[in-house]
Each structure stands twice: as structure tokens, then as C-alpha cells.
Amino acid sequence: MTSTPDPLDRLTVLERGWLSSNNILIHAAGDEPGAVLVDAGHVNHAEQTVALVRHALRGGRLDRVVNTHLHSDHCGGNAALQRAFGVPVIIPPGAAEAVRSWDASGLTYEASGQRCERFEVAGTMSPGEAFVAGGRRWQVLAAPGHDPDSVMLFDAENGVLISADALWEHGFGVVFPEIAGEPGFDDVGAVLSLIESLPVRVVIPGHGAPFTDVAAALARARSRLAGFQADPARHARHAVKVLIKYHVMEEQHQPLDALLRWAVATPMLGALWARHAAHRSASPAAWSEGFVRELVSAGVLGLSDGVVTDR
């Protein structure tokens, strides 16, 4: 009786949480020069990422880092990994010039009020291309929606999809183009249809554990997407909560008045307020405070003696 090969053989999935994305280490096979790391986590966890990768390498060599997209939770550890291992970083092409000139506005870090340490880009990987790592051929697939330049990586032979934030077991990432007033929901739907068309056995998401019930995950994602399409303001409210929660995860604790000053100064939140709440909210600060208190009531944040804490 023959056993079915493990689709995750030669892959180490470092499951991190929400501030840092998962890191996927594709171990070298045959005469490959070294392992490939997919995504690098948040700058707050950069040294932990280096330590985790070093341990997972088991004395082996890291050859390069590739990023599925350039949100701060996926590429914040790039610079630390470059210092530790001297490796090149490969990214999707859409933001390459912004990285080379370190245009923090073009890279959305200023717009989202988030942090990312500057890193050097060595090259790009475009949709339609492929590369070999771990003895597998990884197809680069366009995955716009969450981010216009995002990609997924697909190993067709083993049915392994590295989906980044295009599909999680219970949803998908905030649709950032919609925050800017640009269409994004249709792209999310198209990417979900693309995933459905692929012979996927296991999905390694950007956040959360790998999963195999792809049909159920797609059904949940489509239901969520339909709700956002029917009521874009619902997605806007969700995005506000995500941005606030993410900022508090970065800070761990912050006085409420300082958090509200950050919210008022953050362009993405300002755009959402102007488009969805300016006609009925006294001020961006009051509007933002309402979301903070919703998150506190939900047990997602803490608030005591005027200080907001992560939970």
C-alpha cells in the first residue's frame, strides 16, 4: 500500500498571528543554492523572525526572500533578514520603484499609519512567471483585491497554494483599494474564482493555519464579499476597526488621546470618515473614538485609566 506524499514536505510554515504574517520557508532540494522564505512579518517582530528562520534552516543556507505583497505585516522583517543573512529580496513589480526610492506614501505606510523598515529590492517576480524552490515549480499568480499588486504562489504538482491575504480559512484581507475610493470587490471575486479553478489540496494563508477544506473557505469568503458589495459602508466600518486594532497591536498600549490624534492624522481613516461619516459625525476624533469603544466592548481592546491596550 502506497502512502500519499505530504504536500507540505520540505515546507516549514511559521504561523505568527495578525501583526506579523505567516512566514513560509521552502527548504532547498537537490543542488538548489539555499532555502526561499516567503514573507517576512512585521518590523516589531523582525529579530524574532530572524531567530525563527535561523532555527528552521537547521544550519542550511537562506538564498532569498520573496514577498507576496508589501503591506507592513508581510515585509517588515526584510531589512533584518538582509542584515542577518545577506539575502536578496524579490517582490511583485508594481511597487518596485517605490521601494527603490523608498516612497513611504506610495507604499501606503504613511497612508495607513503603519511602520516598515526600509529594505533593498534585488528583483521582481511577475504574474505568469515561475521559479523553482524546494524541488517544486511555483507559479506566480496575480491576486489583486486586498492589494492591487499582490500575488499568490501555486505549486500545481502538489496542489499547494500560498494565498497571502487573498483567502484565509475564514475570510480575506481588507480590500484596500475600496478604502481609497477605487474598485476592489470585483477583483476579490475574480481571485476567489481563480482559486476555485485550481487543483488546490492545501492553502497556506497569510494568517492562520494551513487548511484543506478549500470549498468551505471559498464559500465563507464569497458570503463575506457579497455582504460588503451589498453594503460598502459595512466594509468601511470593518476597515476602520482593522486599522485601529492593527495600530494598537503595533504600540501594545497607548493613551486614548494619543490614539485619537494618530487616527485623525492617518490619511486612510480620514478618507473613510469623509466618505462615510462626515455628514453625520461631529469630528474625525469623535468618530474614531466610537470605533475604539466598540472594539473595547467586543473585548478586542482594553481601556483603563485612559490607556488603550491590545488584547
Q: For 41-98, how does the pLDDT look when each residue is reduced to its tens digit (9 = 90+)?
A: 999 999 999 999 999 999 999 999 999 999 999 999 999 999 999 999 999 999 999 9
Mean pLDDT of 264-279: 93
Q: Render pLDDT for 118-174 as a digit per residue (tens, 0 to 9).
A: 999 999 999 999 999 999 999 999 999 999 999 999 999 999 999 999 999 999 999
- Please state, in angstroms and rounded to a whole number, the distance separating the CA atoms of residues 240 and 255: 18
CB 269 within 8 A of CB 240: yes
Q: Render pLDDT for 188-219 as a digit per residue (tens, 0 to 9).
A: 999 999 999 999 999 999 999 999 999 999 99
Q: Render pLDDT for 98-117 as a digit per residue (tens, 0 to 9).
A: 999 999 888 999 999 999 99
H-helix or E-strand spanning residue 206: none
247 shares a domain with 219 = no
Domain containing residue 251: CATH number? 1.10.10
Domains in the chain, number: 2
68 shares a domain with 175 = yes
SS3 percent helix, strand, coil of the chain, rounded to 5, is 40, 20, 40
The proportion of the chain whose per-residue pLDDT surpasses 90, expressed as a percent, equals: 94
265 shares a domain with 140 = no
pLDDT at 2 over 80: no
241 shares a domain with 213 = no
Structural domain boundaries enclosing 299: 232-310
On average, the pLDDT of the chain sits at: 96
**Which of 207, 229, 251 finishes a domain?**
229
For the chain, the first-to-last Cα distance in angstroms comes to: 49
On whether residue 2 sits in a domain, the answer given is no
Cβ neighbors of 186 (< 8 A, separation 6 or more) are none
Helical pair 46-57 and 78-85, crossing angle rounded to 10 deg: 50
255 shares a domain with 167 = no
**Which of 185, 202, 229 finishes a domain?**
229
Mean pLDDT of 250-274: 97
pLDDT at position 4 is 66
258 shares a domain with 126 = no
The candidate with the shortest Cα–Cα distance to 119, out of 141, 100, 92, is 100
30 shares a domain with 98 = yes
Global confidence as pTM: 0.96
- Please state, in angstroms and rounded to a whole number, the distance separating the CA atoms of residues 276 and 289: 15
